[in-house]
Structure 1
Amino acid sequence: MVSYERLRNILLLWSSVISLGIPGDWIETGTWKGGCSMLAADILRFALRQPQCPQVRARTIWLADTFEGLPPPRKEDKGKDSGGRVMDPPGSYGGYGGVETVKSKFRERGYRIKEDGQVASSQGFSIRFLVGRFKDTLPGANISSIAVLRLDGDMYSSTMDALTTLYPKVVKKGYVIIDDYGHWIQCKRAIDEYFISNNLTYPLHTIDYTGRWFLKA
């Protein structure tokens, strides 16, 4: 469900922070089957094999999701958007096996996932799963700095919960990727309101009809 353009954007932005030695983790809030975070892990694994790669090895690939589909909507997510769409119902995107399926896909690609599923180390970086609603899991996560924050929570509430907790941890010259800005008005409203309330004026760059990204200067 992720377009070629959005996959290419991940490749370009994540590779950029790695090659430039910009510190910080990758985190995706809303991972579904884990494909985008798997791509981020593969990029990091490849880069760290290259002798010219800056030795910024203390990175973590974070996957945050309920792994059970969308949670019940809060009041901000109800109603139709400008195109007449209503938010997908609770449980959408949850019928594929959940977090255990995502872990198994990582194992198939050669990543070592411990039985508790919390930490996997491979060639100097870790993979961690945050299982639950963002408002419950993100505030207590041991994340000190973020190089790339990818927002894919669809909903106003999920997007705002992720931004409020994680955006202050995005490092200077780090990136924020927004998957749903052009598709879900609920997500767009959360981004726009966060920009206004925090006096942010960064330009949003277009990836495709829905995806956007910006650089934290």
Structure 2
Amino acid sequence: MLKGALTREIWLDDDPGRNNCRELRVNGWKGQPVRLVQRALSTFGYQIVAETKDANLKDLRRTGSDWPEFAETMIGRLRLDNLHQSIERVLDDGIPGDLIETGVWRGGAVIFMRAALKAHGVTDRSVWVADSFEGLPPATLDIDRPDDLSGFADLAIDLETVRANFKRYGLLDDQVKFVKGWFKDTLPIAPIDRLALLRLDGDYYESTWDALDALYPKLAPGGIVIVDDYGLIHGCRKAVDKYRALHHVVEPIERIDHTGVWWRKA
């Protein structure tokens, strides 16, 4: 149920974040006709939205292939399932350490981490929430420039919004630790002793490298690394491959879906 709520799979046409505004999905309507009909229907709580032509919206949400307007996460059900399985593995195997995501957007994945710990009655681990809370910076490296996301306001989710999302699910407590700022500045000095799970979602080469460089040495043997953008963003993949080669990381990379991957530290 929580996964469906965080992805909004269970509210595709009636999202609570829309104040119970229902969506009418249409094809081919443009311009003034849409505006006139929208004005009339808005008094009844309806909103016209474009129908997805090439893929069912549920499939897009399942694979994390759209940018949902209200959901707390855009990683989709497949990557959420992987996160769930990864948490279960490290808990079942007694791998010591905390859980972290670097690059959290609206906080859906870290909210799920905290929920999983609560469901298991775990009180001696923290969930670290690391983000600039200002969106992505302008790409400074050539490898990142084709994927520069600094101009996307929808990615700039402030800290108070993420805190409010935790609170909405009753999961904002002392086990949730926020790390605000650019990774190169914050992660090397964050008071993290040991990690059992490291989830990377920083998009860029630079952000991915900074997170691996600061945090992978703190990952306990048997701990799990998840990389959200490995199959989608060239800079992210290059950073992971270079770090693994430089530090002789030979554990096999396992694919989650079209973009997400994970491996387990030996």
The amino acid that maps onto 1:63 is: V
Q: 2:192 aligns with which of 135, 143, 163?
A: 143
Separation in 2, partners of 1:73, 1:17: 34
Query: What is the number of equivalent residue pairs in this alignment?
Result: 193
Quick one: structure 1 residues 96 and 194, their matched pair in 2 at CA, closer, same or farther if it must change by over 3 Å?
A: closer
Quick one: structure 1 residues 7 and 93, their matched pair in 2 at CA, closer, same or farther if it must change by over 3 Å?
A: farther
Deviations, residues 45-75 of structure 1 (Å, cap 9, x unaligned): 0011xxxxxxx63211001001111012122
- Higher helix share goes to which structure? 2
Q: What displacement does 1:198 show?
A: 0.8
The answer for the alignment partner of 2:209 in structure 1 is: 160
Q: 1:188 aligns with which of 215, 226, 237?
A: 237
Q: What displacement does 1:93 show?
A: 5.5
- The reply to whether residue 58 of structure 1 matches residue 118 of structure 2 is no
> Equivalences for 1:106-185 in 2 at 5 Å?
106-112=166-172, 120-121=173-174, 126-185=175-234
Separation in 1, partners of 2:136, 2:152: 5
Separation in 2, partners of 1:168, 1:93: 33
Q: 1:2 aligns with which of 33, 55, 75?
A: 75
Separation in 1, partners of 2:117, 2:236: 28
Q: What displacement does 1:208 show?
A: 0.2
Ranges of 4+ aligned residues in structure 1 off by more than 3 Å: 76-79, 93-97
- Structure number with larger C-alpha Rg: 2
Contact in 2 for aligned 1:76/1:157 (Cα 8 Å): no
Q: What displacement does 1:78 show?
A: 3.8
Quick one: structure 1 residues 39 and 134, their matched pair in 2 at CA, closer, same or farther if it must change by over 3 Å?
A: same
Separation in 2, partners of 1:95, 1:197: 31
RMSD: 1.5
The answer for the alignment partner of 1:24 in structure 2 is: 97
- The reply to whether residue 98 of structure 1 matches residue 158 of structure 2 is yes
Contact in 1 for aligned 2:115/2:171 (Cα 8 Å): no
- The reply to whether residue 12 of structure 1 matches residue 12 of structure 2 is no
Separation in 2, partners of 1:164, 1:93: 28
- The reply to whether residue 38 of structure 1 matches residue 117 of structure 2 is no
Contact in 2 for aligned 1:62/1:129 (Cα 8 Å): yes
Q: What displacement does 1:150 show?
A: 0.2
Separation in 2, partners of 1:136, 1:96: 18
The answer for the alignment partner of 1:73 in structure 2 is: 139
Quick one: structure 1 residues 72 and 24, their matched pair in 2 at CA, closer, same or farther if it must change by over 3 Å?
A: same
The amino acid that maps onto 1:105 is: N
Give the match's secondary structure for 1:64.
strand
- Higher RCO, Cα 8 Å, sep 6+: 1
Contact in 2 for aligned 1:150/1:176 (Cα 8 Å): yes
Q: What displacement does 1:200 show?
A: 1.2
Separation in 2, partners of 1:162, 1:196: 16
Provide the TM-score with structure 1 as the length reference: 0.84
The amino acid that maps onto 1:200 is: V
The sequence identity of aligned pairs, in percent, is 42
Q: In structure 1, list runs of 5 or more residues that go unmatched.
A: 49-55, 80-85, 113-119
